[in-house]
Amino acid sequence: MSKEEYNPKILGFLCNWCCYAAADAAGVSRYQYPPNLRTIRVMCTGRVDPAFVLRGFVEGADGIFTGG
């Protein structure tokens, strides 16, 4: 697989009050960004257990983004 075709699988944990809201706002302003992110909404980044991150990698994520 060449690097051009390669589409990384990215898992995201976004805080409802901050990054998730920013992501919504990005949509409202029609900003464009790569479609690789799959988001799991949490009420606060405090909820993100290190085990969730490791499990994400176990399940095949190439990268994990946590946004507070």
Interface residues with other proteins (CB under 8 A) are 1, 3, 6-12, 16-68
Closest distance of CB 2 from other proteins, Å: 10
Residues with Cβ within 8 Å of 56's Cβ and at least 6 positions away in sequence, in order, are 11, 64
Nearest approach, Cβ of residue 11 and other proteins (Å): 6
The two structure tokens encoding residue 52: 């969730």
Q: Distance between CA 35 and CA 57 in Å, rounded?
A: 19
CB of 1 to other proteins, least distance (A): 7
